[in-house]
Amino acid sequence: MSEKTYLQALNEALRQEMERDENVFILGEDVGQFGGCFGVTQGLFDQFGCDRVMDTPITESVIVGAATGAAACGLRPVAELMFVDFIGVSMDQLFNQAAKMRYMFGGKTTVPMTLRAPQGAGIGAAAQHSQCLESWFMNIPGLKVAIPSTPYDAKGLLISAIRDDNPVVFLEHKMLYGVTGEVPDESYTIEIGKADIKREGSDVTIVATSQMVYAALEAAEKLKADGINAEVVDPRCVLPLDKETILESVKKTHALVVVHEAVQFSGPGAEIAAIVAEEAIDYLDAPIKRVGAPFCPVPFSPPLEQHYIPGVKNIIEAVKSIR
Amino acid sequence: MALSKKTLINMYETMNKIRLFELRLQELFAASEIPGFVHLYLGEEAVATGACAALTDNDMITSTHRGHGHLLAKGGDLKLMMAEIFGKKTGYCKGKGGSMHIADLDLGILGANGIVGGGGPLAAGAALAAKYRKNNDVAMCFFGDGASNQGTTQESLNLASAWKLPLVFVNENNGYGISCPQCKSMAVVDIADRAAAYDMPGVVVDGNDVLAVYEAISEAVKRARKGEGPSLVECKTYRWRGHFEGDACTYRCVEELEEWKAKDPIPRFESKLIENKTFTKDEAEKIKAQIEKAVDEAVVYAKESPMPSASALMDDVYA
């Protein structure tokens, strides 16, 4: 066990899986010598060569589609999109091809493909390079969606994603690449669709994903001063969603706040809130609160961008409005 | 290209299998016996037949919404196809796919596809897998004149040439993208000219001449197997029916259709085979009668097969 960044954890997952299984390969823009848009694939080109770490042209449809086709033929491609925002270019290959292939073909094939993509605001990348789009993918049967917050989760989930026989969209937050945490040196897996309680509490459940997990933990610390003991639940994957852990927590705390950086309206939190309303409303003694980004594109100007990203203050306000 | 009698007769059988299967679908659809959409391949049989004759079972194809011909030419089973088109549990995809999504990976069929231009990237992936494994297999992407304008097709052509993938692009130019004639959707007359932009061979063949198709495709397949990269073969042909069954076809004239029907690929090939003594007229008729019988059996099989049960709804969403 040693201290590693989120980026190192992802890099280690890729390297260990490529060492373990010769069917695993990487393709995407700048993944080779350059080491990936944010540096996640650093060193892999030197170790595995251009036959297994493939620099593609800037053509996202064929990146996703070739990964899908190769996966259907029995390989385990890990495709990288430089930014999740580019999924629009290749959406058909993901949602009409990769996600539906197995079902349409009556179970005749598997599509063991992983699509890694950084998302999120915070680096002044503006409207087309800063979105959180997990709710787009959540609405597509056939996909799985991982959205890890910690280095430990990032490594274990990426290894699981690569080994999974279904297409997995793996959403990394670009503000988390430098975050450090304890990560085992050896290979390990984390079950896809299994939530993690990041902080135990008794008074309110805060369900948070990705970078918002850190904001939720900070808010929970600050709420202690007001005598509010918050539980922070990190789903780690939004598809499948571990509703059991969320419901169990809500049944214990009797209150729910859902936090994500994705736009609040019709965001992933809407589904979580609806599930709790349908299945545990009798346990709630206050309305469910959601914290998400406002309904506007991500602005460029740094102060505006900071205003756009939900933060500790918004979470504390939401909790205090019901507790 | 000297071909064995067996190969020639196989081609003749395949073309008739496609023709008779589809003529039957036309009737069944008109009688409201088939759910959903049906896009018929009638008139284009020489393309799928000539192209697939150059492949082995290990070679992967991606097909289109007008895919019955490709699937049958690649070895698809009449009964399983018919049952799938009827939406039956016994069909190729357990009734989950229908006419536009039939697949059989064991036969190298990576699926028909409901998205115009959807198959290119997948075929690039199949070719990439072959190259990755160094197993000498090739992939083949069937796509129409309409799909030739899609970004996905351009991306696939580009990647295949940049990476020298063992991929053969078979363009079936049947003159129309749905209702839009080629002259209105592109400035080029020969889609094969686009190959130059990707530094790959681009050839035009008479898509109603099965031997011409076979010869051009064989050349492209040979190149791909040798690691020399992709090719684009444009097969000029014509769609006898509308875009879909039920299409009133008001966008084209009867004379044009008649002109192309006079170039029907099946009688053309049949005369050639009789002329070179591959078979007699009687033997040809026998072959057709046998296929007709097999199609009858496929219809009976499809009709008698059960519908999928409600409990199967959620099967195979995930592995």
Q: With contacts defined as CB-CB under 8 Å, which chain A residues touch B141?
A: none
Whole-number pLDDT of residue B104: 97
Give this prediction's pTM: 0.95
Residues of B with Cβ-Cβ distance to A74 under 8 angstroms: 129
Mean pLDDT, chain A, whole residue set: 97
Amino acid identity of residue A68, one-letter, is: T
Residue B308 pLDDT > 70: yes
Determine, for residues A59 and B158 on separate chains, whether the beta-carbon distance falls below 8 Å: yes
Q: Average pLDDT in the B62-83 region?
A: 98
Section B26-55 average pLDDT: 97
| Cβ-Cβ contacts under 8 Å, A69 against chain B | 62, 110, 121-129, 139
As a whole number, the mean pLDDT across chain B is 97
pLDDT in tens, B193-242: 999 999 999 999 999 999 999 999 999 999 999 999 999 999 999 999 99
8 Å CB contact between B231 and B168: yes
**Residue-by-residue DSSP string for B30-50:** HTT-S-S-----TT-HHHHHH
Q: Which residues contact A277 (CB under 8 A, 6 or more apart)?
A: A288
With contact defined as beta carbons under 8 Å apart, do A33 and A85 qualify? no
CB contact under 8 A, B122 and A72: yes
User: Residue A240, preceding bond cis, omega within 30 degrees?
Assistant: yes
**CA A56 remoteness from chain centre:** 24
B1 pLDDT exceeds 70? no
pLDDT, mean of residues B243-266: 96
CB environment B209-247: b (16+ within 10 A), e (fewer): bbbbbbbbbbbbbebbeeeebbbbbbbbbbbbbbbbbee
The C-alpha angle with vertex A235 and arms to A229 and A237, in degrees rounded to 5, equals: 165
Contacts of A192 in chain B (CB under 8 A): none
Indicate yes or no: CB of A65 within 8 angstroms of CB of B316: no
pLDDT in tens, A232-261: 999 999 999 999 999 999 999 999 999 999
Banded pLDDT at B317 (limits 50, 70, 90): very high
- Residue B121 Cα, gap to closest chain A Cα (Å): 4
Nearest chain A CA: its distance from B92 CA (Å): 7
Confidence band of A91 (pLDDT split at 50, 70, 90): very high
Q: Report the pLDDT averaged over residues A77-105.
A: 97
Among residues A129, A173, A254, A260, the one annotated as catalytic is A129
Q: With a cut of 90, say whether residue B293 has pLDDT above it.
A: yes
CB atoms within 10 A of CB A139: 11
Q: What is the 3-state secondary structure (H, E, C) of chain A?
A: CEEEEHHHHHHHHHHHHHHHCCCEEEEECCCCCCCCCCCCCCCHHHHHCCCCEEECCCCHHHHHHHHHHHHHCCCEEEEECCCHHHHHHHHHHHHHHHCCHHHHCCCCCCCCCEEEEEECCCCCCCCCCCCCCHHHHHCCCCCEEECCCCHHHHHHHHHHHHHCCCCEEEEEECCCCCCEEEECCCCCCCCCCCCEEEECCCCEEEEECCCHHHHHHHHHHHHHCCCCCEEEEECCEEECCCHHHHHHHHHHHCCEEEEEEEECCCCHHHHHHHHHHHHHHHHCCCCCEEEEECCCCCCCCHHHHHHHCCCHHHHHHHHHHHC
**Residue B67, pLDDT score:** 97
Compute φ and ψ for A276, nearest 5 degrees.
Answer: -65, -40
**Closest CA relative to residue B141, chosen from B129, B157, B159, B161:** B157
CB pairs under 8 A between A and B: 144
% of chain A residues with pLDDT over 70: 100
Place of tokens 């109603």: B208
Decide if A106 and B156 are in contact by the 8 Å CB cutoff.
no
The 3-state secondary structure of B213-244 reads HHHHHHHHHHHHHCCCCCEEEEEECCCCCCCC
pLDDT at A1: 73
The confidence band for B2, taking pLDDT boundaries of 50, 70 and 90, is confident
The residue assigned the tokens 């036309």 is B26
Is A254 among the residues known to form the active site?
no
Q: Tens digits of per-residue pLDDT, A151-160?
A: 999 999 999 9
Beta carbons of B319 and A166 less than 8 Å apart: yes
A15-64, pLDDT tens digit by residue? 999 999 999 999 999 999 999 999 999 999 999 999 999 999 999 999 99
Q: How far apart are CA A28 and CA A62, in angstroms?
A: 10
